[in-house]
Structure 1
Amino acid sequence: MLYNAYELQRTMLSGAAAWASIGSEVLSNPALPVGYFGFGPVMASALDVFAHAASPRGKPTFDIEEVAVDGRTYAVTESIVLHRPFGNLLRFEHEGLAEDAPNLLIVAPMSGHFATLLRGTVARMVESSRVYITDWADAKMVPIEAGVFDLDDYIDYVIGFLEHIGPGTHVLAVCQPSVPAIAATAVMSSNDNPCRPATLTMMGGPVDTREAPTSVNDLAMQQPLSWFENNVIATVPLTYPGAGRKVYPGFLQLAGFMSMNLGSHLRSHWAMFKHLVAGDGDSADASKAFYDEYRSVCDLTADFYLQTIEHVFQRHSLPKGEFVHRGQRIDLGAIKDTALLAIEGEKDDISGIGQTRAALHLATHLPESRKKYHLAQDVGHYGIFNGSKWRNRIAPVLEEWIAAHSKARVKAA
């Protein structure tokens, strides 16, 4: 009933948003005097903000058309290089890249948003690297005949993608995938897989949530696993290809994130309204662009979501040495030559300081020369991988790490 109730509400809001958009356009028409006097601009702006907030959203596109490198502009090409039921492997590159440019696999979060949330991450790193990214599917769009997708499958997908790209690949895991990415690295290292990552960078990841717990961690700990299974898992309705699949709906994740910083979101929409009234369309468009991405959400399979809650947030299986993949215990001590970089944001309110750094301590057999920790000052969770601080302060750290250990891996071979 939860999903059906949401779909009914979404349909109603969609109609209201369409009428609001029409009303805003009419009141803003330069041919009509009402658009210049009295409450005309105020009403038009209010309707515009409502229409934007209530409009339904689909999957965004990356839309990275070009990149500037050393004063020259190059066209960026995007292609699907590997198709899998629960996620494709995308590649971004441009003609200005050197033949020996590093291959970088960005493992995007499967946490309710599409991989396009990392558009800024891809756009910055494609300047110097051939970038691959995991484009996870919306679970409600995957037919139930495709089978299940859980943490084991996530790890298998990462390993499969690395094997497809080939040896010497660098990996960047943003937030939630830090756990399965380092698990995949450990599995590949224990099997002496030649395609194990040359470097693994984890940014704002919940490797050990016992370190500096945040409100997100507290919420996961306050209820037993059965509560999540009974209260936030829904069945995909018949209107979607994945009808009958058990999922954690993206709209619930969005509601949770919005409620965490409700005051901030309300202020943002109030500022958007004031910009529109004042005729500052550029500032309003910037806010709209952010929320277009932020409110574009997708569903997670119930198996993956519940296992993540259980093993990452409740049982702390990885740091305790109790994490199992396909029946085999994962030993982070097996990582002996993949260079690890942990990056955290000083003001991260989702993954607290120390949660990602814990990975460096858990890789007990990795030389200290292959470990690095970077604390980004005055940076929140999303600022780690998007925005000016990411582009100018954090990305260079990552590029230097990749360059240093690309040479080291070549010499070792």
Structure 2
Amino acid sequence: MFYQLYELNYAAVQPMRAYADAVKLLYSNPLNPVSHTPFGRSVAAAAELFERTTRRYAKPTFGLTKTVVDWKTVAVKEEVVWSRPFCNLIRFERDLPAARRADPKLLIVAPMSGHYATLLRGTVEAMLPYADVYITDWTDARMVPLAEGKFDLDDYIDYVVDMFHELGPDTHVMAVCQPSVPVLAAVAVMEAKGDRFAPATMTLMGGPVDTRRNPTAVNVLAKEKGLGWFRDNVIMPVPWPVPGFAREVYPGFLQLSGFMGMNLDRHITAHKEFFMHLVKNDGDGAEKHRDFYDEYLAVMDLTAEFYLQTVDTVFIRHALPKGEMKHRGVTVDPKAIRNVALLTIEGENDDISGIGQTEAAHGLCSNIPPEMHVHYMQPAVGHYGVFNGSRFRAEIVPRIADFIASYGRGARAATTPKTKTAKHQ
């Protein structure tokens, strides 16, 4: 009933939101003399703040229409190249000369943990000058009809394997946060079968490979509560008349509550500052707030089976590092990975995936040749800074680009790459 109550409250506040929107338009209209006074701007700011805090945010767009390749600005076009009920694979096709040498194919596996793939807009934008970029665009579970069947962790791994087959050989993969475990598992499954479509390199960024190392508040919560608590308290059926009616999900609004609760003081302060920016007519400050929260507050539901299996496998049983994780009944063995170069990246101040949790992948993939192991810890960034922001663009992206170029199938015989020095930084 909780999901239904949420929907009822959202519907009940619609008239008030419409009224607040009208008030904002009235008191921000330049033809209204009051709009040029502190009182008028205060009324408009309060109305906008109310409307934004009670709004349901739609899925954002990537909006990437151009990039710079070989010091020239080129057009970028989004294209869905592979589609399944729970995911689309988007290619960011760059308008490059046909005779130009092809860049490496990079599959970015976005987190399926509440936010849309557009959270990695900055990641995609930063990699476009270096690679032919593809990204997983996961579907909001509440929009998938029950007739399409279930979607669990095994299905997630199958999807990743299918994408590698779709993209073909000499593909590189980057897993950001949550998908680090299923991507590592998918590569292990492929290597165990001798699959020639296994990726050339695998980059894991801020992922919970082994949450026993430096456990964060998220890890401790999962361990303390146990799987039964999550099943009883956060799993709910999608209400009518949404397309996914009756599907059991972990609702996005609950996930968002958890996100906000972890740093509640920071979010309260941000909204207070937003109000003051509006009153002072500081357009730049207000626009930065809108841009961030339009993305941050847009959330999606996860299927119950995927969420519960992930919590149990990754955070409670630590199945992968213990050698107990299974895919379709077969044990996942990272030691089967022999031909895929591995780069792990962590943030010094990451409060979601603690230091060492991602680096643990190197110990699990012990049969990868030593020269194909690279680890880098980025100083002075938190979880978000591992895959976005100025330090990501300036210090992490060049390392990833160099790593991919150095360990592509055609470059295996090359000299030791510069990226290797990152192990000691």
- With the length of structure 1 as denominator, give the TM-score of the two structures: 0.97
**Partners in 1 of 2:86 and 2:133 — Cα distance?**
20
The Cα shift of 1:221 comes to 1.0
The Cα shift of 1:224 comes to 1.8
User: 3-state DSSP class of the match of 1:30?
Assistant: coil
Residue equivalent to 2:292: 290
Once the two structures are superposed, what CA deviation does each residue of 1:249-308 show, in whole Å capped at 9, x if it has no partner? 010000000000001111111111111111111221111111001111000000000001
The Cα shift of 1:52 comes to 1.8
Residue equivalent to 1:171: 173
Select 2:354's aligned residue among 346, 352, 355.
Answer: 352
The Cα shift of 1:312 comes to 0.2
Once the two structures are superposed, what CA deviation does each residue of 1:63-111 show, in whole Å capped at 9, x if it has no partner? 1111123542111011000110110111012123743200000001110
User: How do 1:54-69 residues align onto structure 2 when only pairs under 5 Å count?
Assistant: 54-69=54-69
The Cα shift of 1:8 comes to 1.1
The Cα shift of 1:386 comes to 1.3
Amino acid across the alignment from 2:221: L
User: How do 1:4-403 residues align onto structure 2 when only pairs under 5 Å count?
Assistant: 4-37=4-37, 39-96=39-96, 98-403=100-405
**Partners in 2 of 1:24 and 1:105 — Cα distance?**
43
Amino acid across the alignment from 1:46: A
Give the conservation status (yes or no) of the 8 Å contact 2:231–2:308: yes
**Partners in 1 of 2:94 and 2:32 — Cα distance?**
48
Give the conservation status (yes or no) of the 8 Å contact 1:82–1:90: yes
Give the conservation status (yes or no) of the 8 Å contact 2:176–2:204: yes
Give the conservation status (yes or no) of the 8 Å contact 2:406–2:412: no
**Partners in 1 of 2:69 and 2:17 — Cα distance?**
41
User: 3-state DSSP class of the match of 2:299?
Assistant: coil
Unaligned runs of 5+ in 1: none
Give the conservation status (yes or no) of the 8 Å contact 1:168–1:409: no
How many residue pairs are counted as aligned between the two chains?
412
Once the two structures are superposed, what CA deviation does each residue of 1:148-197 show, in whole Å capped at 9, x if it has no partner? 10000000000000000001100000000000000000000000101101
**Partners in 1 of 2:37 and 2:277 — Cα distance?**
17
Give the conservation status (yes or no) of the 8 Å contact 2:200–2:409: no
- What value does the CA root-mean-square deviation take over the aligned residues? 1.3
Once the two structures are superposed, what CA deviation does each residue of 1:3-53 show, in whole Å capped at 9, x if it has no partner? 101101222333322221211111111122221235221111121122122
Is the alpha carbon distance of 1:407 and 1:145 closer, same or farther for their aligned partners in structure 2, counting shifts above 3 Å?
A: closer
Give the conservation status (yes or no) of the 8 Å contact 1:23–1:44: yes
The Cα shift of 1:2 comes to 1.2
User: 3-state DSSP class of the match of 1:195?
Assistant: coil
Segment drifting more, 270-279 vs 91-100: 91-100
Unaligned runs of 5+ in 2: 415-425
- With the length of structure 2 as denominator, give the TM-score of the two structures: 0.95
The Cα shift of 1:54 comes to 1.7
**Partners in 2 of 1:220 and 1:137 — Cα distance?**
25
Give the conservation status (yes or no) of the 8 Å contact 2:106–2:172: yes
Amino acid across the alignment from 1:194: R
User: 3-state DSSP class of the match of 1:11?
Assistant: helix
**Partners in 2 of 1:393 and 1:109 — Cα distance?**
22
Amino acid across the alignment from 1:106: I
Give the conservation status (yes or no) of the 8 Å contact 1:62–1:116: yes
**Partners in 2 of 1:145 and 1:399 — Cα distance?**
42
Amino acid across the alignment from 1:35: S
Once the two structures are superposed, what CA deviation does each residue of 1:182-222 show, in whole Å capped at 9, x if it has no partner? 00000000001011010000000000000000011111111
Amino acid across the alignment from 1:239: P
The Cα shift of 1:411 comes to 5.0
Segment drifting more, 350-359 vs 29-38: 29-38
